[in-house]
């Protein structure tokens, strides 16, 4: 049986996959995590252990960040979704964005703007760890307006945690033990800006 000129056969439509798009999608799925790991390694090489230890001993920044991340942002997302009368799928998308922890990009912008990189990395680590419990809780609390079935991407949260903590930790260790090599590893992060 032949397809008509629109690519349809009866009530069915033929789906044509573009091999270039598929190959590009696969390349991005592999390259992006590698690039993020290298960036976090470079940032870790810019972090001094004694500065990071100050933030660990006095975690007021991460506490404020976690409160904003897991109390204020989900509430704002929920409120905006209702105020704008978004459809269920868009409202849930906004809510999920409002419940997600911070990531590597915030650390990059902190670095490029001469911010407190140790604090940013520590806050990202804390918010990613807290996301294992707070994201499901917030989605349970706020998503009931639109659905009863929300799936939390625990594996992706765990992978984010690994891509932040391990390379940054290795970078801190390199800076502590091999400061000359650490300076060379920071240069590509500087060059990216």
Average pLDDT over residues 51-80: 92
Quick: pLDDT tens for 81-92.
Answer: 999 999 999 999
Q: Does residue 186 lie within any of the structural domains?
A: yes
Q: Does residue 13 lie within any of the structural domains?
A: no
Q: Does residue 133 lie within any of the structural domains?
A: yes
Q: Quote the pTM value.
A: 0.71
Structure token digits, residue 158: 């765990």
Q: Does residue 113 lie within any of the structural domains?
A: yes
Q: Does residue 17 lie within any of the structural domains?
A: no
Average pLDDT over residues 14-33: 81
Supply the pLDDT for residue 193.
55
Average pLDDT, the chain: 83
Supply the pLDDT for residue 79.
96
Q: Does residue 73 lie within any of the structural domains?
A: yes
Cβ contact 56:122 at 8 Å: yes
pLDDT tier, 128 (very low <50, low <70, confident <90, very high otherwise): confident
Domain of residue 127, CATH code: 1.20.1530.20
For Cα atoms 22, 28, 32, give the angle at the middle one, nearest 5 degrees. Answer: 165
Average pLDDT over residues 119-143: 88
Q: Hey, CA dihedral for 174, 119, 129, 157, is it positive or negative?
A: negative
Report the number of distinct structural domains present in the chain. 1
Q: Does residue 181 lie within any of the structural domains?
A: yes
State how far the Cα of 186 lies from the Cα of 181, in Å rounded to an integer.
9
Does 72 score more than 60 pLDDT? yes
Supply the pLDDT for residue 51.
86
State how far the Cα of 157 lies from the Cα of 45, in Å rounded to an integer.
24
Supply the pLDDT for residue 164.
80
Supply the pLDDT for residue 11.
56
State how far the Cα of 163 lies from the Cα of 154, in Å rounded to an integer.
14
Give residues with Cβ within 8 angstroms of 2, minimum separation 6: 9
Q: Does residue 23 lie within any of the structural domains?
A: no
Domain that holds residue 103: 58-192
Does 2 score more than 80 pLDDT? no
């Amino acid at each position: 049986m032949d397809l008509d000129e629109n690519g349809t056969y009866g009530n069915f439509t033929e789906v044509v996959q573009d091999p270039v798009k598929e190959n590009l999608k696969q390349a991005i799925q592999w390259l992006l995590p590698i690039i993020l790991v290298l960036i976090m390694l470079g940032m870790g090489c810019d972090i001094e252990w004694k500065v990071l230890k100050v933030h660990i001993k006095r975690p007021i920044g991460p506490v404020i960040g976690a409160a904003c991340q897991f109390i204020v942002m989900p509430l704002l997302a929920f409120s905006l979704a209702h105020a704008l009368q978004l459809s269920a799928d868009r409202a849930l998308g906004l809510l999920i964005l409002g419940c997600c922890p911070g990531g590597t990009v915030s650390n990059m912008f902190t670095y490029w703007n001469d911010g407190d990189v140790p604090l940013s990395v520590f806050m990202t680590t804390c918010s990613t760890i807290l996301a294992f419990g707070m994201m499901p809780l917030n989605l349970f609390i706020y998503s009931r307006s639109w659905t009863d079935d929300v799936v939390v991407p625990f594996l992706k949260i765990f992978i984010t945690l690994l891509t932040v903590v391990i390379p940054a930790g290795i970078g801190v260790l390199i800076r502590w033990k091999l400061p000359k090599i650490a300076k060379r590893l920071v240069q590509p992060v500087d060059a990216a800006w």
